[in-house]
Every structure is written in structure tokens, then in C-alpha cells.
Amino acid sequence: MNVRVLRLGLGMIAPFLALLISFGIISLILIAAGDPVGAVWDQILQWPERRNLSNIIDKTTIFYLSGIAVAIGFRMNLFNIGVEGQFLVAALVAAVVGGEAWVSGYLNTALAIIAGMVAGALYAGIAGVLRAYRGVSEVISTIMLNSVAVGLTAFLLRQFKGPQPEGSFIVTTKQLPESSWIPNISIGEGAATEIYGFIYIAVFVGLAYWFLINKTRFGFDLRATGQSMTAAVASGINTKRMIVTAMLLSGGFAGLVGLPYIFGEYHSYGSTFPAGLGFTGIAVALIGRNHPIGVALGAFLFAFLDEQTNALQIVAGVSPEIVKIMQGVILLTVVIAYEVVRRFGVRIEQQMVSRELERARAESTPPPADEKEAAR
């Protein structure tokens, strides 16, 4: 059997198997809690309405960007937990730059997006430099930088706050001029069934990520460093520079995470800006195995569950917080399944190799031939 086909097959089977198992576990949890199992699954697994579908797609877009940002780090064995902080800082910067509207129209959009990415990159770069040149674990530094980001954005929001509507307690930055909004795409009737135009950028990000990681020398160096720092050094890769570059890149993509809201919905950064998206990205990247399509599926799965469980309270009398348990269980089973399948795959491959060895040994006995040559 071809090794590549084998690996692909195993890679596909694992998540579906894991999903089935996790559904079983969740059912058991529901039964133990005395909740109506059937009604819950009915609600979750029904085909979503248009309105819900557009929400699912929007969330998928956002989770996907977050997942890709985390995945870049993972590919190099860097655990960028700081996507959360990076996207907050980036969203604020993008909103401020966009709101100032130094240039007009889509030029302003582009400028704001780039400003956001640069902000995210620099913010992540702090952790990268600390890791590369001071040996500070990026896990620790990015967690701390997350806390800093929450305070920093709250502080900066006050400095850059725009005009506040009468009687509103919500502080926001200046509104983006309408000419710089990214228009939404309609998938049905009315405003509730529109999706963010930012989805195009997300798709482009996915393609860019795939190309960068799989086709370029930079991507090769990144993966090599992630797999074995020592082998990377011996092969001539400047691993310190790779660490910083990878963090910059991860932070740059993280900078995109909050932008669909800014260009497609709120048109400003405010004190009610959604949080927690960076952490979802970690789960999504793990489920998607850092693969551009896998991460998309993982993002869709999480978005789907988020949306479909909203109505659980009304329909089945079950707290929608069950979604967190579901997502957690799915994450665990998927990760375990991947590892089990990986080991299984390695074993099969080793067996194939040893069969090859034995076949070769049976066909000829090369050592004596080698010897004669060597002795000469």
C-alpha cells in the first residue's frame, strides 16, 4: 500500500471517529444530569435556519483566522497563547487608524488592516524576542501579555475615544467612514442573513498559509525547527531568527481576528468588543491539526455548536453552557485520536520497512559482497 494514501486515510478517519466517541460521552453526561438527550441532539443537529447559518459562517470566519494564527506558532512548536491579547491590541489600532481616515475609501481599509496586522505582529514579537534571546517561555510571556493587553486597550480606548451618543455608557473609537466598510454578502432575505465580506480575506489567508508552510523554504525551515531544534541548527537554520519571525507572523495573522467585526458590523472598537476569540483559536488549531482545511472544519464545528446550542434553554430546558462541555470533550477526544492514529501509522510504516528489509535480505545476502569490496 502506498504510504501517502495510508497516512491520508488515517488522518481522515481519526477526527470522525473522535466526533462519534465524543457524542457518546456528551450523551452520557446529559443522561447523568437528567437532561433530555434526544431533544438536545434534535436541536443541535437540525439544519440551521438562514439567520443562524449566517451567524455560523461569520463565527467560522473569525475562529478560522484565530486558528491559523495559532497554527503558525504550533508548526514551530511555539505555543502562542497570546492571540487573545494580540487581536485586541490589533483591533483597537485598526479601528483608530480606520477612524482617523487619513486616506479615503478602500485605501483607508487597507491601511487600517495593515496597521492592525503590524500591531498584532509587534505585540507578539515581544514574546518572540524574549524567547529567542532571553529564553523566556512564550507560554508564560504571552499569557502575561494577554493581561497587559486587556489593560492597555482599555486605557488606550479612553485616549482615542470618539463622540459618545447621548445617554450611552459604551465608549467607542471614532466610527469608520462608510466608504471604508467591507460590504457584507447576502445569502438570503434581509439584513439578518448577511455574512461578512471579510470571509474573502480569510480564504486568502488560508491559501497564503498553505503556500507559505508547504511550498516555501521559509515554511520548510519553520517546520524543521518545530520538529527538531537541534537538527535545524545542524542543518544551518538560524533558529533564533525563526522564532522571532514565526511569532511576528503568528501575531500578524492574529491581528486579523477582530477585524471582521470592525469592518463588517461595529465599525469601531468599543468597550463591548467580543473577547475570548484567541483561546478558541487554540482549540480550533488543535482540532484541525494546523492544516488549512482542517482548521476551517474545526472552526466551522465550533461555530456550529456555538450557534445551535443558543436555543437549547428555550427548546429543551438545558443550559446552553453545555456547549463548552461539548467543545472540551470534542477537543480532548480529537487530540487523543490523532495521537493514537499517529502511533498506529508509525507502527504500520515500520512494519512495511522491515518487510522490505527481510525481502531484500532473502533476495540476496549483501553483507558478504560489501565486505569483499571493503577489504580490497
Partner 1 sequence: MTSTEAPAAPEAPPGDVAVRLRGIGKRFPGVIANDDVNIDVRRGTIHAIVGENGAGKSTLMKILYGVQPPDSGTIEINGTELKLSSPSDAIKAGVGMVFQHFMLADNLTVLENVVLGAEGMHGIGAAARDRIKELSDTYGLDIKPDRLVEELGVGARQRVEILKVLYRGARIVILDEPTAVLVPQEVDELFDNLRELKNEGLSVIFISHKLDEVLSVADEITVIRRGTTVKTVLPKDVTSRQLAELMVGSELPSPSTEASTVTTTVLLSVKDLALPSVDGRPLLEDISFDIHRGEVLGIAGVEGNGQAELVESIMGMRPEATGTVALADIDISTISTQQRRESGIGYIPEDRHRHGLLLDAPLWENRVLGHQTREPQAKYGLIFRGPARKDTQRIIEQYDVRTPGPNVLARALSGGNQQKFIVGREMSGDPILLIAAHPTRGVDVGAQGAIWQHIKNARREGLGVLLISADLDELIGLSDRIEVILRGRLVGTFDPTKVTPEQLGSAMTGAGDEA
The gap between the terminal CA atoms of the chain, to the nearest Å, is 40
CA proximity to 263, closest of 326, 342, 184 = 184
Rg (CA), the chain: 24
Min dist CB 5 to partner 1, Å, is: 10
Min dist CB 203 to partner 1, Å, is: 22
Closest to partner 1 by CB, 51 vs 223, is 223
Binding segment for partner 1 (CB under 8 A), chosen from 111-119, 126-134, 168-176, 365-373, is 365-373
186 sits in which H/E element: strand 185-186
> 3-state DSSP call for residue 1?
coil
Which residues, in sequence order, are CB contacts of 361 under 8 Å at separation 6+? Answer: none
Q: Which residues pair with 173 in a beta bridge?
A: 161
196 phi and psi, to 5 degrees? -65, 135
Min dist CB 342 to partner 1, Å, is: 8
Residue that has been written with the C-alpha cell 482549540 in this structure = 283
- If one asks whether residue 133 binds partner 1 (CB under 8 A), the answer comes out as no
Distance set, CA 163 to CA 160, 195, 258, 278 (Å): 10, 28, 22, 29
Closest to partner 1 by CB, 178 vs 373, is 373
Site for partner 1 in 204-263 (CB under 8 A): 215-221, 223-224, 227-228, 230-231, 233-238
Q: Binding string to partner 1 for residues 157 to 196, with x set by CB under 8 A, is what?
A: ----------------------------------------
195 sits in which H/E element: strand 194-195
Please tell me the count of residues contacting partner 1 according to CB under 8 A: 42
Closest to partner 1 by CB, 271 vs 351, is 351
Residues in touch with partner 1 (CB under 8 A): 2-4, 215-221, 223-224, 227-228, 230-231, 233-238, 346-347, 349-354, 356-357, 360, 366-368, 370-371, 373-376
